[in-house]
């Protein structure tokens, strides 16, 4: 994993257990990602929770057109939204799961995963049962 470059800077923290970085607006509302340009001055960066619940999910069975730049040949993947309680609902890849494993409301944990052989991206996976 250490060989991979993040798909973009500033999406998650650089620590042993990385966390997504959101932006807290003046009214308390948290957005993800931190906005760029002039809007960035209006938010305060905040590290988000690593744990949440599945808000919705779907499969991506066909290869998206550009600007998608995933590995070749195309591998179908899962995406969804994970609700980080009291913070924000983030759109994310879902890894280590099949559609049959997924149920809205199930606990999910944050992960940084390989996107292709050069880059990493963020994802959530079903929380491992103890």
In angstroms, give the least distance from the CB of 130 to another protein. Answer: 26
DSSP 8-state class, residue 115:
S
* Contact between 77 and another protein per CB under 8 A: yes
Site size for another protein (CB under 8 A): 43
- DSSP-derived letter for residue 80 is E
Using CB under 8 A as the binding rule, whether residue 8 contacts another protein is answered as yes
Least distance from C-beta 17 to another protein, angstroms?
A: 21
Q: Pairing mode, if any, of strands 77-84 and 119-126?
A: unpaired
Cα dihedral: 24, 58, 113, 51 (round 10): 50
Residue 121 near another protein by CB under 8 A: yes
Q: Is 104 in the site for another protein (CB under 8 A)?
A: yes
Cβ count within 10 A of residue 34: 18
**Residue 75 gets which letter from DSSP?**
-
For 3, left (φ over 0), alpha (ψ -120 to 50), or beta? alpha
Using rule CB under 8 A, residue 80 touches another protein: yes
Binding string, residues 41-60; x marks residues near another protein by CB under 8 A: --------------xxxxxx
Question: Which residues make up the interface to another protein (CB under 8 A)?
Answer: 7-8, 11, 22, 29-33, 36, 55-62, 64-70, 77, 79-81, 83-91, 93, 99, 104, 115, 121
């Amino acid at each position: 994993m250490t060989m991979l470059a993040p798909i973009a800077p500033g999406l998650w923290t650089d620590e042993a257990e990385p966390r997504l970085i959101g932006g807290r607006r003046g009214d308390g509302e948290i957005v993800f990602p931190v906005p760029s340009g002039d809007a960035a001055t209006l938010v305060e960066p905040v590290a988000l929770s690593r744990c949440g619940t599945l808000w919705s999910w779907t499969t991506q069975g066909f290869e998206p057109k550009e600007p998608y730049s995933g590995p070749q040949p195309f591998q179908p993947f899962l995406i969804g939204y994970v609700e980080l309680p009291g913070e924000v609902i983030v759109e994310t890849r879902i890894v280590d799961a099949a559609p049959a494993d997924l149920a809205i409301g199930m606990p999910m944990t944050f992960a940084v995963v390989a996107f292709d052989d050069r880059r990493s991206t963020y994802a959530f996976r079903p929380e491992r049962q103890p």
